[in-house]
Structure 1
Amino acid sequence: MNNSDINRFKVIQDVYDRRIRRVDAADILDLSVRQVQRLIDRLREFGVMTTSLWGNLEAMSNRKLSCNRK
């Protein structure tokens, strides 16, 4: 995990622990509120171990979507 992954995890963890709001996290991470919610859902479902794979999982889901569109 690089520094940006660690920062992202800390912000998402703060939202999960209700220290900050999803809107604030979206501003900090420069994401949409929906994307923040998806990261929270992924954290809730898979736990901390997958946080380093977030980028890879997003890429895989994008590939899956593009394959399904054909």
Structure 2
Amino acid sequence: MYNLGNCTDCTTCGSCQQTPNVDTPILFCMHCQPSDAPCLKICKQNAIEIMGGAITINSKNCTRCRDCVKVCPIGIIKI
């Protein structure tokens, strides 16, 4: 049984909502229209890009500030 008090942020049990740390920011999203995408609007580094109709992260420009993570309406961005 999952107990929050025992959580070590390992992200392996599948019971928590923790996002694993990743070396490369991950995003391939078609949920928002690019003109309305909060992540695209908030990124000060222009790391959020549109590729073939999908919103993606250019990892070379990303500073991992996580502003995009905070505004994503579906929580798909992993940094």
Same fold (TM over 0.5): no
Q: Give 1 or 2: higher helix fraction.
A: 1
Could you state the TM-score of these two structures normalised by the residue count of structure 2?
Answer: 0.22
Could you state the TM-score of these two structures normalised by the residue count of structure 1?
Answer: 0.23
Q: Which has the higher contact order (CA 8 A, sep 6+)?
A: 2
Larger C-alpha radius of gyration, 1 or 2?
2
Q: Give 1 or 2: higher strand fraction.
A: 2
